[in-house]
Structure 1
Amino acid sequence: MTSPQVGSPSEEPRADLPPPPGRHALAGPDEVRAATVAAAQAAPRWAAVPTAQRFALGPLFCRRLRDAAEEFLALLIAEGCPGRVGRWLIDSMLGMFDEKSCRWYQRLMRFEWRDGDRRLVLQHKPDGVVAVNPPGNAPAFSATTVAVHGLMAGNAVVVRVPRRSPSSTMFLLRHVLVPCLEELHAPPGTLGFFCADPDLVLHQWLDDPRIHDIVYYGNSDRGHRFHQSCVDRGKKAVLELSGNDTVVVWKDASTADAVESLLTAFHCSGQMCIAPNRAVVHPEVADEVVEELRRRAVDLLPGRPEDETTLLTPVPGDAHVAVLAEARAAGAVVVCGGRRRTLAGAVHPAGPFLEPTVLRVDGLDLAAGLAAVRDETFFPLLSVVVPALDPDPDRLLSQVIDFLDGNRYGLRNSLWTGDPAVAERFVTGVRNGAMLKVNQPHLDFVPLLPSHGGTGRSAGVHGEAAYVFLKTSHLQSAVFGPPPGP
């Protein structure tokens, strides 16, 4: 029987990029198995640690991350992550695991109330051993945030560190997270990590009964096949897949704020799943918004990652050629971008960077059929969809909401408006997406709220907004009857 293809395309070697800094040994089957065995032995002991002590891990992690922030940032930059993006990643982790957030998380693990003379309890119990397969982009952030969530829930965690940029991930796990676990007297094996080939590890995890959950980041097609492989083996797959986020700009929005949020489409050259890929702009302000986007986008040039103005990263492959050709042929307009550039900024067909590209598409029906709008493109492209002007503003808003709900992906949707009634209709009407934002930066994480999850092709048929500490545990009920009489 042919084994499923479960690897991530982001793990493919890229000849146009420099090798990662430093060297890391690759783990083989024996090392992967040893990490799993150690985690399985540690899991029940760590689960028995009081919940409050486990959830103290988050604030401890924040304290040590602050102390190590500059060293960690230097490694991110050495691996090619723009320093400006690296600082945002650090700030996001500090907000995700501060004391206020972790107190809220802990409260969600157990509810208790009285029903007559009985005491009722709903509580989340850890699943056991959680295996994490982070993406090739932002692996340190993804691997570590999921590990902290899984550990606070009471699981033991094993992490496969991607081969492309292992140094920052290894540093964050070994020199920041491990000392926190040592301070909490976690048993040996509670956290394990190694750098290894993704296909080897994923197949081994699938076949190992000691692995209970696998957190999988990657392409939606591969992710859904991997989910089926997990189901076939009785495992829980926690999917964090592709995104194709939308920002809606209404006619009464703050144009400056909306454009600032839309420009995050070009952070790391659009190679971030939670970056906006699409905008739907009210026809009365579309010309103004598109022109401001064009003016700002043409100023985003390649640069070295240590330069605080740099946002772009190299883009391998030529997927953009066919996507833009299809859009032009259908009547869409490339407002700016689409050409390759060298690090020095010169236009060159072999340049490793792709210019930030703004595409204008007039009409919701036309937009729905274009790959540039329909699919996650993963290069610096922002498709600005302009619906036809409708004399009935309520009907126009309904059309926009229907367009958002037609998105096959569902990480985030956001809205910029000055009208509270429009905002309320957006929040109550849009079904697509794990997070909705109103007059808030699209890319930023929000403390206390779920930071993961999605709908549709972003997280599978059972997708939703997800706290990872709840996603890697299971709900259990209990009832206490009155004590027996004398």
Structure 2
Amino acid sequence: MSTEPLRIGDHLVSPDHYIDGARVPGQRSFELFSPIDQRVLGHVAEGDEEHVEAAIQAAQRAFASWSALTAAQRLPCLERFADEIGRRAQALCAVESTDAGVLLSRMQHGVVPRAMLNIRWFARHALELQDRPIDTEQARHIVRHDPAGVTVIITPWNAPLMLSTWKLGPALAAGNTCVLKPPEWAPLTCSLLADAADAAGLPPGVFNVVQGTGATTGARLVADPRVARVSFTGSVPTARRIAQAAGANLVPCSLELGGKSPFIVLEDADLDAAAATATLMYRNAGQVCLAGTRLLVHEQVADEFVARMRPLVDQLVIGDPREEATEVGPIIHPRQVERVQGFVDRAVAGGAKLLWGGGRHAFGALYFSPTLVTNLQQDDEIVQNEVFGPVLTLQTFGHDDEAVALANGTDYGLGGVCYGETAHATAVAERVRTGFIWVNSFGIRDLAAPFGGIKRSGIGREGGEWSFEFFCDVKDIVLPKKPFRASFAHR
């Protein structure tokens, strides 16, 4: 079935899949709308069994030649890929802002430059993964990072461009070929990413995009025995289904999942700085997995902290994310708005107190007011489970041990924030069980550093050599230093 290109402002986006270097239409399609105003944007091709089969076959064929290249030989092509992303910056910004409701200013100043860096940095870092010798008394070991094979990448709707390139960068640089399944609620920048790859001259089949739902298209991809790796960012329930399907074929999975991160404010914290950073947790309408959504504040400074945070929240500009002044945009989908509202309503019904917010904002149907809930128990649903909206909780503590107990008292362990005198905050941070934690800061990321969570927040680490450890098969070639004579004694 032929589908018409989608027009987003001055930009046209193909609604078709990208398989083996060509656009491929689908027999079925699904409707796409903008969370900004719920305006229908058009229809996007939905992948079926035939598309999944074609994409995996294309990736298999391309793997033989792509994996045979050295990192230095792949580098120019991936550098061009990063350049082509930059050439499409205006389109990528406009499209993702409209498609996913992301702030246009954030796309311009943060996401697109980061997407380019994701491809370029990993392509260059792969050069450092040459054969590494390890010398022992008995032998010289040559450690290689070999390409693993066909890689399936599944990304979420809150940051489709950034997270797609975050995974594609190391996967392609390692010599793998990829099939990307974009989020069905916000697939359009992944389609533009295919245009960039095509213009950069990535060989056919090295990078494929198959659109569709997780329950059908995604499920077929992750269950295919020809797949060598699965990299997923999203929810815990979906991750369980992916792990079960991939596990049947013993396929390694990298799972970056939800967060319920603590934001600890110690009694010796700079309250102005802490309050300003806490207000940032409402960005992207709270649809950020690593946000510190549980405010844990020392009882001696809790009232003052709230008093300093409230005017900052009141000043937040809620509105159309395409406007320069906007600081909080819409929630992605009506189902997600209902989910967020349900968490708040149940908390209030159970005795929680609203300090501000609590419901939909007057700007539009998918806009939710920044909300702070207090008078909570540690086992309350809203404390324990990820809301994924502009909703924070507030609990107080009397000493460091209590702060640590509250921080560690959920099934999640992605990130965290700790404000206080540097040595004091660092000592507390060391006791918080998360994959990472920021001291007197938030959001500082370096591609060389590990990223990922513990407990229900995921399996594995992304970034730097950790990405290559996942996307590669690590092999040890052993060269004995003395003549070897076979003997049962060597067993």
Q: Specify the TM-score bucket, using the shorter chain as the normaliser.
A: 0.7 to 0.9
Q: Is 1:312 equivalent to 2:314 in the alignment?
A: no
Aligned counterparts of 1:108 and 1:254: Cα–Cα separation in 2? 42
CA shift in 2, pair 1:329/1:429, >3 Å: same
Q: Is the 8 A contact 1:455 1:464 kept in 2?
A: no
Shift of 1:243: 1.5
Decide which of 34, 51, 71 is 2:71's aligned counterpart: 51
CA shift in 2, pair 1:193/1:27, >3 Å: same
Counterparts in 2 of 1:207-286, with a 5 A limit?
207-286=223-302
Match of 1:347 in 2: none
Shift of 1:478: 2.2
Amino acid at match of 1:358: L
Aligned residues: 446
CA shift in 2, pair 1:384/1:60, >3 Å: farther
Match of 2:363 in 1: 343
CA shift in 2, pair 1:110/1:377, >3 Å: farther
Shift of 1:379: 1.5
Q: Is 1:92 equivalent to 2:99 in the alignment?
A: no
Aligned counterparts of 1:377 and 1:132: Cα–Cα separation in 2? 24
Aligned counterparts of 2:203 and 2:163: Cα–Cα separation in 1? 24
Shift of 1:13: 7.7
Does the residue aligned with 1:341 lie in a helix, a strand or coil? coil
CA shift in 2, pair 1:465/1:38, >3 Å: closer
**Which sections of structure 2, spanning at least 5 residues, go unmatched?**
1-29, 485-491
**Which sections of structure 1, spanning at least 5 residues, go unmatched?**
1-10, 345-350, 390-395
User: What CA deviation, in whole Å up to 9, does each residue of 1:210-246 have, x standing for no partner?
Assistant: 1122222322123113212221232222212222122
Aligned counterparts of 2:78 and 2:308: Cα–Cα separation in 1? 40
User: What CA deviation, in whole Å up to 9, does each residue of 1:302-322 have, x standing for no partner?
Assistant: 311211222221363433444
Amino acid at match of 2:412: Y
TM-score normalised by L of structure 1: 0.83
Q: Is the 8 A contact 1:57 1:148 kept in 2?
A: no
Decide which of 11, 20, 38 is 1:18's aligned counterpart: 38
CA shift in 2, pair 1:253/1:209, >3 Å: same
Does the residue aligned with 2:241 lie in a helix, a strand or coil? helix
Match of 2:436 in 1: 435
Shift of 1:339: 2.3
TM-score normalised by L of structure 2: 0.82
User: What CA deviation, in whole Å up to 9, does each residue of 1:332-362 have, x standing for no partner?
Assistant: 4311001222327xxxxxx43110001234x
Match of 2:392 in 1: 382
Amino acid at match of 1:166: P
Q: Is 1:412 equivalent to 2:415 in the alignment?
A: yes
Match of 2:382 in 1: 372
Aligned counterparts of 1:450 and 1:55: Cα–Cα separation in 2? 23
CA shift in 2, pair 1:259/1:65, >3 Å: farther
User: What CA deviation, in whole Å up to 9, does each residue of 1:99-142 have, x standing for no partner?
Assistant: 5x655565367532322363223333222100112112222222
Amino acid at match of 1:74: A
Does the residue aligned with 1:279 lie in a helix, a strand or coil? strand
Cα RMSD (Å): 2.9
Q: Is 1:40 equivalent to 2:60 in the alignment?
A: yes
Match of 2:371 in 1: 357
Q: Is the 8 A contact 2:292 2:417 kept in 1?
A: no
CA shift in 2, pair 1:24/1:130, >3 Å: same
Higher relative contact order (CA 8 A, sep 6+): 1
Identity over aligned residues, as a percent?
Answer: 24
Aligned counterparts of 1:483 and 1:46: Cα–Cα separation in 2? 37
Does the residue aligned with 1:302 lie in a helix, a strand or coil? coil
Q: Is 1:194 equivalent to 2:210 in the alignment?
A: yes
Q: Is the 8 A contact 1:144 1:173 kept in 2?
A: no
Does the residue aligned with 2:386 lie in a helix, a strand or coil? coil
